[in-house]
Structure 1
Amino acid sequence: MRMEKIKSAFFLLAFMTCQASAASFSAAQIAQFKQLPQAEQQALAKQYGVNLSDLTSSSSSAPVVPQETIQPRTVNVTNVVQGVPQTSQPKNTLIDFGYDLFSGQPSSYTPVDDLPAPNNYMIAPGDEINVQLFGNQNQSYSLNVSRDGSIQFPSLGPIQVAGQEFSELKSDLTKRIKKQILGVNVSISLGALRTMQVYVAGDVYQPGAYNIPSLATVTQALIAAGGFRKTGSLRNIVVRRNHQIVNRLDLYDLLLQGDTENDIRLQPGDTVFVSAKGPSATITGKVRRPAVYETRPGETLGDLLKNAGGSKADAYLQQVEVKRYQSNGVHIITADLTAASGRDLALKDGDRVSFKKISDQLQNAVLVRGAVTRQGAYAYHEGMKVSDLFTNASDDLLPNTDQRYALVVREFGPRHQIKVLQFNLSEALSSPSNSQNLALQDSDQVFVFSDELNVKAWQEPKPVDHNAGQGSKRGGQAKQALDPTTGVQLVKDSQVTTNLFESQEEIDQQAGPDSRQTLLKPIIERLRQQAINGQPLAVYEVSGEVTFPGAYPLVENASLKSALAAAGGLLESASKDQAELTRAVVMPGEVALNHHKFDLSKILSNQVPDFRLVSKDRIEIQQKTNWSLNNKVEIQGEVRHPGTYTIGKGETIADLVARAGGLTQYAYPVGAIFSREVLRVQEQERMKMLSENLRQEIASLALRRQTTSAQYTTSPTDALSVVKDLNTVPAMGRLVINLPSILRGDEAQDVMLENGDKLFVPPARNTVSVLGQVQMASNFTFDSSKSVQEYINMTGGEKKQADIDRIYVIRANGSVMLPNQSYWFARDSQKLEPGDAIIVPIDTDYLDGLSALSAASQIMYQIGVAWSAIN
């Protein structure tokens, strides 16, 4: 018995091996194989080269039985047709119109019971007739029409019904029943309808014979066959009956117009034939339904556009491009669809029609942008002026609108160059007859600006942070200006004005949408682009003490007064007795700059005539002498009134201490610390330069190590970390001062104060610090009788790597003193004082230079920490 199973399994595997490509084995054969033990299954599968996992997984699916060639397929056209997987197409690829509607695959048979039957439905064998009696009798009958065309009605016998229409059947059968059965009412309806066999041939998804309901039409038969192949024609479908063509169907009538007149009901034995696809044309661009459309003889470009749903609103119909294939190549035909000749252009196979987009250029309109209530385009009319755009200033303009400065940008010439006109919006609206009420032209652009300072780009000055570590970035000296309303000095974080002779920088992203920076940028950029072929650059610049310094378009009849209006007017700090005009004089091969001084007050008071501006002029409005209302310094520590003080020109440290009430009894003036922002910036730059030099030295050191046998005590990786640590040491910007001498009236020691200076007077410190290469760095109580060496001995003495010849002392005021400890020569040394720090450096002969740098950076870091603690 065991051997019989094995033989049977061998036979099964041999059969599967032969039939594996067709996958046509039955479930019973697979079940027989599965009865064997797992080990034997694996051995046999390996011996015959059968994939055991495929065989196991195939058991869950029904066996695939090859269909006979002419076996009819029974389908239900009322079911939803399952979509056939289509070949994926790239995005935006045009489709062949109409094919997706009929794509599908034949569905399985399901009885049809709910299709409504029309009154002219012809009764034939296979139909089911439902008869219900009520009244004296309550009976229901389901009567099938037999092959001889009759139904067998109880108590009435056979009744011939085949060949009758459904309405005729109901009338005749009702009369006969009521005549023979008295006192009953009759209701007659159709039950299950018969099926019929038709043939679908040609370029369809799956041609063949199909059993379909007796009410099915041509399109339902096509759906039953899975729809069309891409090679099939939607416009030439014929129905043959008894060897004759009884109908032609153009599916475009159904798809585009909903016309089902030619979608006739089929009869048994009919053949639906789909011809090969005929000529086609492609339509793309600004149409409602771009696709590939099949064409018929005699169709025109107008017919194709109609099939595509018509053109879109932005289609340019005057120049429609038609690419046509001819024997000598591709020809371009331009058709005007606004004319009958263009619409009547006959189509040819392969035509590619493209509808272009109309121009976005506004016609018969004026555009308004900026600080207005309603931006956008306004209809232009002849004689239109600025006052026609803004009829009510309180309603049409924003509260922050600068009514003193507005622009009109106007195009001219075939190259669409621009020119700029400037006007006073307030005067234009208050007096329509005023010359400022400019006459507008079609396509003009009106720009209205805001008069508010950008609160994000301008801000109050912040205290200087001397303890900023890495990541703290500062630029050069910030430009200062005064708020024209409050007189408070402002500091501008970013430079908005640009050099006229260089490419314009990006506008500050924080600028408002109605600011001069934002609205003028595209205008100035366009003026730069058209300044070619010897054309002058129509831009000038206003700098100095004005509200909005920067570059401005050179308007027609530009003057000094119009330039000041463009820049928002003068600041309170502006000097009116003297200003400067720099004018570029272009000569062959060079450009000369001429500087002219002028009295601004006389021009503003009309004592002297205003002058005209030309290309690339620069106007510098200078500041009043000694104008500084916001120079502040800070004094902290042991003074009677510490805090921040506003200073004027020429004030010194002695003046500041006096204004602060003098020193307290606990003050230690010898250790006073004075810092200055300019020095801090310089010190930071020097440290960056030092770190860059060290980085280059490290790279050279690493290269020498790779090419020689030299040995170094510090690896390049460790050395680079030293450079990184050096970058973290904060710059202090300290200036060594002798405060006791300053307070005694020594003018040579006194320092004139600047904005941002800081003075710290520490309390008396009776300590001395010992740092560096000693056994235990520490702080000690000051003893005037002890020497430098005695303090070092109190830490346990120097380490082996200490350089005892280079010991130095950092005094409390920041100066350096070298004690008299040299072996080779004697030098005078000052006595130690409270607050001094004794530094014992490392011997550079003991370690390489990079290790010495590491130790030095640690000392610098300790000093920096001390400075941070003071702050």
Structure 2
Amino acid sequence: MKIATITWTLLFSALISYTASAANFSAAQIAQFKQLPQAEQQALAKQYGVDLSSLTGGSDASQKTPAQSTIEPRKLDTAPAKASEPQTNSNGLIDFGYDLFASQPSSYTPVDDLPVPNNYLIAPGDEIDIQLFGSQNQSYQLDVGRDGAVQFPQLGPIHVAGQTFKELKANLTHRIKKQILGVDLSISLGSLRTMQVYVTGDVYQPGAYNIPSLATVTQALIAAGGFRKTGSLRTIVIRRNHKVIDRLDLYDLLLEGKTNHDIRLESGDTVFVGAKGASASISGQVRRPAVYEIKPGETLGRLLKDAGGSSAAAYLQQVEIKRFQADGVHVITADLSRAKGRDLVLKDGDSIRIHRVSDQLQNVVMIRGAVTRQGAYAFHQGMKISDLFTNASDDLLPNTDQNYALLVREIDPEHHIKVLQFNLGDAIRSPLGKQNLTLQDNDQLFVFADALNVKAWEEPSAKPLVNQHAAANSNDATNAVTINPDSGVQVVNDKKPQPHFLDHSGNQQEAAGPDSRQNLLQPILQRLQQQAVNGEPLQEYVISGSVPYPGTYPLVEGATLKDAVAAAGGLLESAAKDEAELTRSVVMPGKISLYHQRFDLVKTLTGQAPDFALQSKDRIEIQRKTNWTVDNTVEIQGEVNHPGIYTIGKGESIADLVARAGGLTQYAYPQGAIFSRAILRAQEQQRMKMLADNLRQEIASLALRRQTTSAQYTTSPTDALKVVDDLNSVPAMGRLVINLPKILRGNENDDVSLENGDKLYIPPKRNTISVMGQVQLASNFTFDPSKSVQQYIDMAGGEKKQADDERIYVIRANGAVMLPNQSYWFARSSKPLQPGDTIIVPINTDYLDGLSTLSTATQIMYQLGVAWKAVK
């Protein structure tokens, strides 16, 4: 063989300069090359850049026998079945199993590296690899010819076709060892033949396909592009020599992994896919909802198994089956928890739906509110509140209100509730006491936070989950309010005003926090309102007055006045404990009468007077002590001896305040005193907003007139809108015009009683006159009693073109407005100009197209400007 190698080396050297194509080698040369060891073949081919497969002519199965080109992979059709088909499902279910084949490449995968089984039949086109070692070291790659024989050097033709691979190895080993002494050998198969099979029926593209000799039925189906929507996965027939040799049900392969009927094909075999048979759909709480093909006699239990079984949330006691019959669609209910239901025989077109079990938690009690751990807790008989709260410091939040808690209990299948009230602190501290209520299954506890401290202890609260009970009996779903055992309560469309609270100074505050009374009571109250039908009384009451949390509360079972006071957070210091009032609604034929009763609050709460039970719609008014004031303060600034903030009592006046502040200094100008009040400030701000809105409407009308007429106007609406913007930007003062000199002289008619938040400013004397408005240059001038209003206006450059000289007015230092006339008014000695006065020259509203609101707006702005100027 070394000589042959040298010869081939020389031959390659000569030919490579001309071409590297195998076509330049003769058949004898190629045969001689094949007799070289495979390692030497590969080395020579690599050295001279020759394609080894082109010389051996069979090392690559794909080159040896070109396969028929197959179709391109197709996209998976996941669309639901047509409406005309009986297996149609309105939920958009796809047919089970078809995606496995439609999503795979249709061209076959080479199988040269797969192990060859011992029962593989040798046939023409196969390649046999023989390795000799011992007295000879040779490698041979022998092709099985069309006559079924291989040409073995030194031994001649050997017939091998029709033998199994096991028989081939035994026969060749026996003959070679017999004729060539001192050798051992190894036999394997190289490239395998391709074979032609037929795939027909309801496949994507029927026809003849060249597939590997080791291919099975499923590989032939993949080569054909899979199934049509009308093809059956359960009726696949394999024919050989005009006889049926096997049948394949792909559900065995897809659902159980059985491959015993996925047999290897032989050349000339036919794979036939029949039309799709009866089918049934299954949806809902199953693992694999889909449309399944069913065989005659198949049961509901078998279909459920094919669908992967039911999910954990499946309700098997009432499974819905829709079945087509001659007179329409009938509904059948089956119990899959029993053998009778599982043995129900299916029919073509059946639609099965397995519903979900109820979301209602069973055997639980719920806690919501100001606790460390909200949620569901397992219930057991004899369970009490103290079993849920073993340690107050660990189980409750620092701001928990331990004096008031509620237990909500459902009392009938319609989920009507009753409410019980208890003292949480007593229930924890005294497990044997009556406040430690015995619980029932599905009870819910509501623990409230002290709203005064909620912001200091903002603990995360569980978000409401889906309602446990749907409002099945409510025609308006938006008004449905239900209690959720997973989270407590969910409220929809609440419109009832809820409790607010007063701080300890008696000032009303806004409730806050997820665990406050406002948030937790809201759904309970609306649930009680829904129950008040068909003559049932509304189970709620109202408590107001000097309590921390006035508002509407649920009427608990056996509620008394003490319970109401505890619910409202107790009594404030301002409460008149010797007197309170109960208002009760008395239902009479066709009307309701109100009954009022006064009672001694302290005696009733302490047991000196009999306590009384509350009834539906009771109203309790906890009255405030006479003349009760706490921290009512006023402020005095400016030219007084002791300016500052002073606490006042009922009936104190401006004169009293000035006296307490040490009187006026020698520099004070009492004629210009500015007095402001909070309630007036709010009214003034509202008035300014109203004026701004009216002015905007007039400007809009002006713009419309300009578009519809040919009239000419001197000013655009844009300029007028600037006045509106100025009006909105000016802060309200809430000024009350006072005559401080008369007040200090003891004129009681001019004096004013003080209120909380009042402010008094006494400016220093300013010997000035101000001119503002539509003048050439707004300025301040030194006061000269001999000068008139017109002279001061002339000193400011005179009026502008848009000035309204007929409506000039003077704002006194104390805020009073003095309107002039044209008959020497300013020359009268009774009304001369005074230091600190401001002369206003307003804008001519006719100049701005007759905007009637503008004069009022500018007047307010000027007055405010003068006041602020005096303060500053």
1:456, CA displacement in angstroms?
A: 5.0
Output the CA distance in 1 between the equivalents of 2:606 and 2:110.
Answer: 103
1:676-687 maps to which residues of 2 (within 5 A)?
A: 676-687=677-688
Between 1:646-655 and 1:583-592, the stretch displaced more is: 646-655
- What SS does structure 1 have at the residue aligned with 2:398? coil
Q: Deviations over 1:499-531 (max 9, x none)?
A: xxxxxxxxxxxx323222222222111110010
CA RMSD of aligned residues (A): 3.2
Which amino acid is the alignment partner of residue 730 of structure 1?
Answer: P
1:320-359 maps to which residues of 2 (within 5 A)?
A: 320-359=319-358
Which amino acid is the alignment partner of residue 492 of structure 1?
Answer: Q
Task: Label 1:800 to 1:699 Cα distance change in 2 as closer, same or farther (>3 A).
Answer: closer
Task: Label 1:375 to 1:703 Cα distance change in 2 as closer, same or farther (>3 A).
Answer: closer
- What SS does structure 1 have at the residue aligned with 2:452? coil
Residue 615 of structure 2 corresponds to residue 614 of structure 1: yes
1:803, CA displacement in angstroms?
A: 4.1
Equivalent residue for 2:366?
367
1:332, CA displacement in angstroms?
A: 1.0
Residue 425 of structure 2 corresponds to residue 430 of structure 1: no
Equivalent residue for 1:170?
169
1:107, CA displacement in angstroms?
A: 3.9
Task: Label 1:600 to 1:859 Cα distance change in 2 as closer, same or farther (>3 A).
Answer: closer
Task: Label 1:172 to 1:395 Cα distance change in 2 as closer, same or farther (>3 A).
Answer: farther
Equivalent residue for 1:653?
654
Equivalent residue for 1:240?
239
Task: Label 1:491 to 1:428 Cα distance change in 2 as closer, same or farther (>3 A).
Answer: closer
Q: Deviations over 1:172-198 (max 9, x none)?
A: 434544555555553333222111100
Which amino acid is the alignment partner of residue 602 of structure 1?
Answer: K
Equivalent residue for 1:158?
157
Task: Label 1:856 to 1:571 Cα distance change in 2 as closer, same or farther (>3 A).
Answer: closer
Output the CA distance in 2 between the equivalents of 1:191 and 1:636.
Answer: 112
- What SS does structure 2 have at the residue aligned with 1:670? helix
Task: Label 1:176 to 1:453 Cα distance change in 2 as closer, same or farther (>3 A).
Answer: farther
Equivalent residue for 1:474?
none
Residue 186 of structure 2 corresponds to residue 187 of structure 1: yes
Equivalent residue for 2:762?
761
Equivalent residue for 2:379?
380
Output the CA distance in 2 between the equivalents of 1:865 and 1:181.
Answer: 128
CA contact (8 A) 2:838 2:866 kept: no
Q: Deviations over 1:699-721 (max 9, x none)?
A: 66677778888766566676566
Task: Label 1:711 to 1:217 Cα distance change in 2 as closer, same or farther (>3 A).
Answer: same
Residue 502 of structure 2 corresponds to residue 481 of structure 1: yes
1:830, CA displacement in angstroms?
A: 2.2
Task: Label 1:402 to 1:771 Cα distance change in 2 as closer, same or farther (>3 A).
Answer: closer
Task: Label 1:791 to 1:829 Cα distance change in 2 as closer, same or farther (>3 A).
Answer: farther
TM-score normalised by length of structure 2: 0.80
Output the CA distance in 1 between the equivalents of 2:341 and 2:652.
Answer: 88
Equivalent residue for 2:736?
735
Equivalent residue for 1:57?
none
Task: Label 1:777 to 1:390 Cα distance change in 2 as closer, same or farther (>3 A).
Answer: closer
Output the CA distance in 1 between the equivalents of 2:400 and 2:843.
Answer: 68
CA contact (8 A) 1:489 1:630 kept: no
Q: Deviations over 1:759-792 (max 9, x none)?
A: 2233332321112333332221222332222212
Which amino acid is the alignment partner of residue 481 of structure 1?
Answer: L
Q: Deviations over 1:221-269 (max 9, x none)?
A: 1111111111101111110111111111111111111111111111111
Equivalent residue for 1:280?
279
Output the CA distance in 1 between the equivalents of 2:662 and 2:189.
Answer: 117
Task: Label 1:88 to 1:639 Cα distance change in 2 as closer, same or farther (>3 A).
Answer: farther
1:96-245 maps to which residues of 2 (within 5 A)?
A: 96-104=95-103, 107-108=106-107, 111-134=110-133, 137-181=136-180, 184-245=183-244
Q: Deviations over 1:635-678 (max 9, x none)?
A: 33344554433333233333434444544554433322211111
Between 1:539-548 and 1:109-118, the stretch displaced more is: 109-118
Equivalent residue for 1:49?
none
Task: Label 1:543 to 1:359 Cα distance change in 2 as closer, same or farther (>3 A).
Answer: same
Residue 284 of structure 2 corresponds to residue 293 of structure 1: no
Equivalent residue for 1:836?
837
CA contact (8 A) 1:84 1:105 kept: no
Equivalent residue for 1:524?
525
Output the CA distance in 2 between the equivalents of 1:294 and 1:561.
Answer: 71
Task: Label 1:315 to 1:105 Cα distance change in 2 as closer, same or farther (>3 A).
Answer: closer
Output the CA distance in 2 between the equivalents of 1:351 and 1:430.
Answer: 63
Between 1:449-458 and 1:519-528, the stretch displaced more is: 449-458
- What SS does structure 2 have at the residue aligned with 1:806? coil
Equivalent residue for 1:576?
577
Task: Label 1:847 to 1:490 Cα distance change in 2 as closer, same or farther (>3 A).
Answer: closer
Equivalent residue for 1:84?
75
Which amino acid is the alignment partner of residue 787 of structure 1?
Answer: S
- What SS does structure 2 have at the residue aligned with 1:122? coil
Equivalent residue for 1:73?
68
Percent of pairs with identical residues: 72
Output the CA distance in 1 between the equivalents of 2:381 and 2:104.
Answer: 66
CA contact (8 A) 1:237 1:273 kept: yes
CA contact (8 A) 2:106 2:222 kept: no
1:272, CA displacement in angstroms?
A: 0.5
1:550-565 maps to which residues of 2 (within 5 A)?
A: 550-565=551-566
Output the CA distance in 1 between the equivalents of 2:663 and 2:171.
Answer: 131
Between 1:205-214 and 1:820-829, the stretch displaced more is: 820-829
- What SS does structure 1 have at the residue aligned with 2:330? strand
Which amino acid is the alignment partner of residue 187 of structure 1?
Answer: S
Between 1:838-847 and 1:692-701, the stretch displaced more is: 692-701
Output the CA distance in 1 between the equivalents of 2:704 and 2:219.
Answer: 84
Which amino acid is the alignment partner of residue 533 of structure 1?
Answer: N
1:727, CA displacement in angstroms?
A: 4.0
Task: Label 1:491 to 1:533 Cα distance change in 2 as closer, same or farther (>3 A).
Answer: closer
1:109, CA displacement in angstroms?
A: 6.4
Between 1:513-522 and 1:205-214, the stretch displaced more is: 513-522
Gaps of 5+ in 1: 1-70, 460-477, 497-510
Output the CA distance in 2 between the equivalents of 1:607 and 1:596.
Answer: 18
Equivalent residue for 2:389?
390
CA contact (8 A) 2:815 2:867 kept: no
Task: Label 1:529 to 1:845 Cα distance change in 2 as closer, same or farther (>3 A).
Answer: closer
Task: Label 1:800 to 1:224 Cα distance change in 2 as closer, same or farther (>3 A).
Answer: closer
Task: Label 1:371 to 1:840 Cα distance change in 2 as closer, same or farther (>3 A).
Answer: closer
Equivalent residue for 2:261?
262
Q: Deviations over 1:408-431 (max 9, x none)?
A: 212123422111111222333333
1:100, CA displacement in angstroms?
A: 0.7
Q: Deviations over 1:537-583 (max 9, x none)?
A: 00111222222222111111110001111122122222211112111
Task: Label 1:375 to 1:181 Cα distance change in 2 as closer, same or farther (>3 A).
Answer: farther
1:212, CA displacement in angstroms?
A: 0.5
Between 1:689-698 and 1:273-282, the stretch displaced more is: 689-698
TM-score normalised by length of structure 1: 0.80
Output the CA distance in 1 between the equivalents of 2:520 and 2:578.
Answer: 32
Q: Deviations over 1:107-160 (max 9, x none)?
A: 456654222222222222111222334556544332222222222333343333
Output the CA distance in 2 between the equivalents of 1:479 and 1:162.
Answer: 100
Output the CA distance in 1 between the equivalents of 2:139 and 2:784.
Answer: 131
Output the CA distance in 2 between the equivalents of 1:531 and 1:168.
Answer: 93
Equivalent residue for 2:312?
313
Residue 491 of structure 2 corresponds to residue 492 of structure 1: no
- What SS does structure 2 have at the residue aligned with 1:849? coil
1:740, CA displacement in angstroms?
A: 3.5
- What SS does structure 2 have at the residue aligned with 1:555? coil
Output the CA distance in 2 between the equivalents of 1:427 and 1:457.
Answer: 25
CA contact (8 A) 1:286 1:311 kept: yes
Output the CA distance in 1 between the equivalents of 2:501 and 2:242.
Answer: 100
Which amino acid is the alignment partner of residue 251 of structure 1?
Answer: L
Output the CA distance in 2 between the equivalents of 1:844 and 1:554.
Answer: 62
Q: Deviations over 1:787-820 (max 9, x none)?
A: 2222122123334554444322111111122456
Output the CA distance in 2 between the equivalents of 1:376 and 1:688.
Answer: 49
Gaps of 5+ in 2: 1-65, 82-89, 459-498
CA contact (8 A) 1:72 1:209 kept: no
